[in-house]
Amino acid sequence: MPILVEIDHRNARSTLLVTPLERLRPCHTRRVACDAQGRPCRAVWQTWDGLPLPPGGVAQGYEGPDGHTVPRADVVATDAAGQPLRVLPATTRRPQRLEGPVPVDELLAHVVTKVYGVTAERLDPALRQSLQQGDIYRVPFRPRAATGDAPAFLVENASGIFLLQAAPCRFDWVTRAQVVAADADEDEMDEDVWAADAWDLDDLRLREEGDR
């Protein structure tokens, strides 16, 4: 089901239909773990002592400092200082103001968490021209109400228009004296943010020749 996004840019409104890119693909690939007999395995969580927990075998809840269970409805998100965060409404069904063009560094300060293909029901010609020239725009995009701001970037290439849902990153300047020890920090694991393995490199063909 496409999501309707209305955006305002320089007193002109555009209406976009956005669909997760994996749903637009005609075929999907996925990797399945199989045992020695070729039967599909089930993914489980394993506790530190090796107890396998199948899907549905884990209950998640919230607990207070003394161990009492707190109902989900009574849990409030706060900032680091303990101030309750305002719940930001979903951005669908409400026109959003487009910011930009933003510098490419702003997009490079994020990682993409989801890609949407965009079908323009009504697109401001000036905005279309700007996108075709390679400009990048930022727009608030929350399919659901949330306490955190979720930026998204609107870009266009020869294939079409895309909305890139993103999460912020932070790169620091480092000097010669700031040596990082090899055992400094734990690493993040590979997150399964892509629903389909259609993004496998088999399907990728970067057209580097023209850009070299």
Partner 1 sequence: MIRQIRLADHGGRDAICGLLPVRVPDARRWQDLAGQPVHALRRVRATAATHPEALLAQYPDPDDLAQALIAGDPEWDPGALGRPTGPCTRGYVDGDGQPCYAPQWTELRSDGQGTVGACRPLPSRPANLVPATPPVWSGVLLPRQTLVRRVAFVRAYQVVHQDALQFDFLYELAQYLQQRQVMVQIGSGRQGRGPLICERNGRPYRGFLDGRVQGEAMRLGLYLAAGELTIPEGTP
- Is residue 43 involved in binding partner 1 (CB under 8 A)? yes
* Stretch near partner 1 under the rule CB under 8 A, chosen from 4-12, 91-99, 137-145, 185-193: 185-193
Consecutive H or E run containing 14: strand 12-20
Of 52 and 95, nearer to partner 1 (C-beta) is: 52
Which position among 1, 11, 86, 182 is part of the footprint of partner 1 (CB under 8 A)?
182
Of 1 and 11, nearer to partner 1 (C-beta) is: 1
150 near 141, Cβ under 8 Å?
Answer: yes
User: Residue 59: how many CA atoms within 13 Å on its side-chain side?
Assistant: 5
> How far apart (Å, rounded) are the C-alpha atoms in residues 44 and 56?
10
Which position among 1, 10, 11, 32 is part of the footprint of partner 1 (CB under 8 A)?
32
**Taking the complex as a whole, how short is the minimal distance between the CB of residue 91 and partner 1, in angstroms?**
19
Could you say which residues in the range 110-149 bind partner 1, by CB under 8 A? 111-113, 115, 117, 119, 134, 136, 147-148
Asked if the peptide bond before residue 101 counts as cis, ω within 30 degrees of 0, the response is: yes
Please enumerate in sequence order all residues whose Cβ is within 8 A of that of 98, keeping only pairs 6 or more positions apart, or say none: 7, 8, 9, 127, 137, 138, 139, 154
- Give Cα separations from 168 to 54, 101, 113 (angstroms): 33, 18, 10
Q: By rule CB under 8 A, what string of x and - marks binding of each residue 148-167 to partner 1? A: x------xxx-xx-x-x--x
- Is residue 1 involved in binding partner 1 (CB under 8 A)? no
- Give Cα separations from 24 to 63, 110, 152 (angstroms): 41, 24, 19
Which position among 4, 51, 126, 145 is part of the footprint of partner 1 (CB under 8 A)?
51
Could you say which residues in the range 53-112 bind partner 1, by CB under 8 A? 53-54, 56-65, 70, 74-80, 82, 84-85, 104-105, 107-108, 111-112
